[in-house]
Amino acid sequence: MFKVFYPFSVLKSLSALVLTQGPPPKHRRRPAGVVACQSLLLFAILAFIALNVALLFWVYRDAQNRGMEYGILWLVIVFVFGPLAAIVYVFARQKGSLVPCARCGARRLDVSANCPHCGNA
Protein backbone atom coordinates (compact mmCIF):
# COMPACT_ATOMS: atom_id res chain seq x y z
CA MET A 1 0.00 0.00 0.00
CA PHE A 2 1.27 3.47 -0.88
CA LYS A 3 1.69 5.66 2.18
CA VAL A 4 2.10 9.43 2.08
CA PHE A 5 4.30 11.09 4.66
CA TYR A 6 2.53 13.87 6.53
CA PRO A 7 4.37 15.85 9.21
CA PHE A 8 1.06 16.30 10.99
CA SER A 9 0.49 12.54 11.20
CA VAL A 10 3.98 12.14 12.70
CA LEU A 11 3.15 14.79 15.30
CA LYS A 12 -0.13 13.02 16.03
CA SER A 13 1.52 9.64 16.55
CA LEU A 14 4.30 11.21 18.68
CA SER A 15 1.78 12.92 20.92
CA ALA A 16 -0.16 9.65 21.19
CA LEU A 17 3.06 7.89 22.24
CA VAL A 18 3.81 10.52 24.89
CA LEU A 19 0.25 10.47 26.19
CA THR A 20 0.11 6.68 26.48
CA GLN A 21 3.53 6.41 28.12
CA GLY A 22 3.03 9.22 30.59
CA PRO A 23 5.84 11.31 32.01
CA PRO A 24 9.37 9.84 31.81
CA PRO A 25 10.71 8.28 35.02
CA LYS A 26 12.49 10.85 37.20
CA HIS A 27 15.57 8.77 37.90
CA ARG A 28 16.36 7.68 34.38
CA ARG A 29 20.08 8.40 33.87
CA ARG A 30 22.27 8.46 30.83
CA PRO A 31 25.29 6.13 30.91
CA ALA A 32 28.44 7.76 32.35
CA GLY A 33 30.34 7.35 29.07
CA VAL A 34 27.70 9.29 27.17
CA VAL A 35 27.70 12.08 29.75
CA ALA A 36 31.52 12.29 29.67
CA CYS A 37 31.55 12.33 25.87
CA GLN A 38 28.90 15.04 25.66
CA SER A 39 30.70 17.14 28.29
CA LEU A 40 33.99 16.82 26.44
CA LEU A 41 32.34 17.82 23.16
CA LEU A 42 30.64 20.81 24.79
CA PHE A 43 33.93 21.88 26.38
CA ALA A 44 35.77 21.54 23.05
CA ILE A 45 33.15 23.67 21.28
CA LEU A 46 33.22 26.37 23.98
CA ALA A 47 37.04 26.38 24.00
CA PHE A 48 37.09 26.77 20.22
CA ILE A 49 34.64 29.70 20.37
CA ALA A 50 36.63 31.35 23.19
CA LEU A 51 39.87 30.92 21.21
CA ASN A 52 38.31 32.51 18.14
CA VAL A 53 36.95 35.49 20.10
CA ALA A 54 40.36 36.03 21.76
CA LEU A 55 42.00 35.79 18.34
CA LEU A 56 39.60 38.43 16.95
CA PHE A 57 40.44 40.85 19.77
CA TRP A 58 44.16 40.21 19.43
CA VAL A 59 44.23 40.68 15.63
CA TYR A 60 42.20 43.90 15.78
CA ARG A 61 44.29 45.41 18.61
CA ASP A 62 47.56 44.39 16.96
CA ALA A 63 46.47 45.96 13.65
CA GLN A 64 45.48 49.17 15.49
CA ASN A 65 48.80 49.32 17.35
CA ARG A 66 50.68 48.87 14.09
CA GLY A 67 48.73 51.71 12.50
CA MET A 68 47.29 49.48 9.77
CA GLU A 69 44.39 51.04 7.89
CA TYR A 70 42.47 47.78 7.42
CA GLY A 71 42.25 46.52 11.00
CA ILE A 72 38.49 46.06 10.73
CA LEU A 73 38.94 44.16 7.45
CA TRP A 74 41.38 41.77 9.15
CA LEU A 75 38.86 41.35 11.96
CA VAL A 76 36.19 40.29 9.44
CA ILE A 77 38.63 37.98 7.61
CA VAL A 78 39.65 36.24 10.85
CA PHE A 79 35.98 36.02 11.88
CA VAL A 80 35.11 34.27 8.61
CA PHE A 81 38.18 32.06 8.11
CA GLY A 82 39.24 31.47 11.73
CA PRO A 83 42.72 30.67 13.07
CA LEU A 84 44.15 30.04 9.59
CA ALA A 85 43.50 33.70 8.68
CA ALA A 86 45.22 34.79 11.91
CA ILE A 87 48.35 32.91 10.81
CA VAL A 88 48.17 34.68 7.43
CA TYR A 89 47.78 37.99 9.29
CA VAL A 90 50.96 37.39 11.32
CA PHE A 91 52.93 37.08 8.07
CA ALA A 92 51.12 39.93 6.27
CA ARG A 93 51.17 42.56 9.02
CA GLN A 94 53.65 45.43 9.22
CA LYS A 95 56.91 44.13 10.67
CA GLY A 96 58.58 45.61 13.73
CA SER A 97 58.29 45.42 17.51
CA LEU A 98 55.67 47.27 19.56
CA VAL A 99 56.92 49.78 22.13
CA PRO A 100 54.97 52.03 24.53
CA CYS A 101 54.38 55.56 23.18
CA ALA A 102 56.26 58.28 25.09
CA ARG A 103 53.21 60.57 25.08
CA CYS A 104 50.09 58.39 25.48
CA GLY A 105 51.58 55.11 26.71
CA ALA A 106 49.71 52.99 24.16
CA ARG A 107 51.66 50.43 22.17
CA ARG A 108 52.99 51.51 18.78
CA LEU A 109 55.48 50.31 16.20
CA ASP A 110 59.03 51.41 16.99
CA VAL A 111 59.68 52.20 13.29
CA SER A 112 56.45 54.16 12.62
CA ALA A 113 56.69 57.91 12.06
CA ASN A 114 53.67 58.79 14.20
CA CYS A 115 51.78 57.07 17.03
CA PRO A 116 48.52 55.65 15.60
CA HIS A 117 46.73 56.53 18.85
CA CYS A 118 47.78 60.13 19.62
CA GLY A 119 49.73 61.19 16.52
CA ASN A 120 52.90 61.91 18.49
CA ALA A 121 56.03 61.77 16.32
Contact 92, 81 (CB under 8 A): no
Does residue 120 interact with Zn ion by CB under 5 A? yes
Binding characters for Zn ion, 87-106, by CB under 5 A (x = yes): --------------x-xx--
Does residue 114 interact with Zn ion by CB under 5 A? no
Between CA 86 and CA 65 the distance in angstroms is: 16
**50: Cβ contacts below 8 Å, ≥ 6 apart:** none
Nearest residue (CB) to Zn ion, 35 versus 102: 102
Stretch that binds Zn ion, among 4-12, 57-65, 69-77, 111-119 (CB under 5 A): 111-119
Nearest to 88 by CA among 80, 98, 97: 80
Binding site for Zn ion (CB under 5 A): 101, 103-104, 115, 117-118, 120
